Amino acid sequence: MSSKDHLRKGADVSPYEALMAGSLSGAIARAVTAPLDTLKIRLQLQERTFASRPKVHTVLKNLIRNEGVVALWKGNVPAEIMYILYGGIQFTSYSVLSRALSQVENQYSYNLSASSHSLVVGIGTGIMSTLGTYPFDLLRTRLVANSNKELLSMTTTIAGIYRKDGLVGFFAGIRPAMLSVAATSGLMFWAYELARDFSKEFNNIPFIEGICGFAAGATSKGLTFPLDTIRKRTQMYSITKKTAPISAFKLTGQIIVNEGLYGLYKGFGVSILKTAPTSAVSLFTYEYALRYIKSESQEQLN
């Protein structure tokens, strides 16, 4: 089967095709990596210094012992909704923005490289995806952060956020989130195109899209992880401190002073273990779903 790159500059992908394939990729990626996401968030919310932080296996053992195995899937309903919406919005906006940027390049006779083109488009998709899914991201974090054995009700949590902070409460921490996701998305698509260029002579290797996606996910998360930690801490600040939300800049200063610079990297190892496979599964599923959709459309035309 051809391993055509449907994310490359100039690829012919309609918004409808991108929406279908993107939504499927989001759903499958979340289903595969949910427990690692829960563990990562728990580690990020630890406020001890880096030296005294609990080990990954300790957090996992305590979580299962105190809350049960099902706790690894806490917040999975809003997270699954978020991933489906995020995948759909991400790849649809990528298709639309990629075409628009190509038109601008043609209009001004300026030619970006394929990887630079993907970097710019990826930043735009990160912004649009965050705006469309952020309330679900915040809700997932609140549900995962609950350390009681009894699962929190999603409707009760929603009502509590609205009662305490109003509609604006569903967007607490959106600024660092926007910066984090836009940077991560742009770097992921940039790294993916560089990896696909490098892998051209290995196209016959099975799962080459997934391998490139794995490398892209690890690269992007490695460069932007502190922003993700700030995003999670901001989302939980009003709950853990029983006070009004805090600015991302002020919170960053508090983390560095109280926990050291390494405090921004809590959960980094688990995050790489989660993000790299997520990107691999997401990009692999997207590419193959598109091939299936296009082949079905071609058969109908014939």
Task: Give the angle 230-254-240 at the CA atoms, nearest 5°.
Answer: 65
Domain count, the chain: 1
CA distances from 97 to 15, 183, 197 (A): 10, 16, 21
Q: Has residue 68 been placed in a domain?
A: yes
Q: Residue-wise pLDDT tens for the chain (302 aa)?
A: 446 788 999 888 999 999 999 999 999 988 888 888 888 888 878 877 766 777 888 888 988 988 888 888 888 788 888 889 999 999 999 999 999 999 999 999 899 999 999 999 999 999 999 999 999 888 888 888 887 777 778 888 899 989 988 898 899 888 888 988 999 999 999 999 999 988 887 767 778 888 999 999 999 988 898 988 888 888 888 877 878 778 888 989 999 999 888 888 888 887 887 788 889 999 999 999 999 998 887 777 66
- Give pLDDT, residue 100: 95
Question: Domain for residue 234, yes or no?
Answer: yes
Domain assignment present for 4: no
DSSP state, residue 70: G
3-class secondary-structure state, position 143: helix
**Residue 9 covered by a domain:** no
Neighbour-count burial of 186, counting CB atoms closer than 10 A to its CB (0-12 exposed, 13-18 middle, 19+ buried): buried
In a domain, 203, yes or no: yes
> Domain of 213: which CATH number?
1.50.40.10
CA 118, 22, 285, 13 torsion: positive or negative?
A: negative
DSSP 8-state class, residue 47? -
pTM (2 decimals)?
0.77
* Residue 10 domain-assigned (yes or no): no
Whether 84 is in a domain gets the answer: yes
Q: In whole angstroms, what is the distance from residue 177 CA to residue 129 CA?
A: 11
d(CA 32, CA 193) in angstroms, rounded, equals 24
pLDDT of residue 1: 42
Sign of CA dihedral 227, 232, 284, 287: negative
**For residue 260, is it within any domain?**
yes
Q: What is the DSSP letter of 46?
A: -
pLDDT at site 187: 96
Angle between helices 154-165 and 114-145 (to 10 degrees): 100
Question: Domain range spanning residue 226?
Answer: 15-296
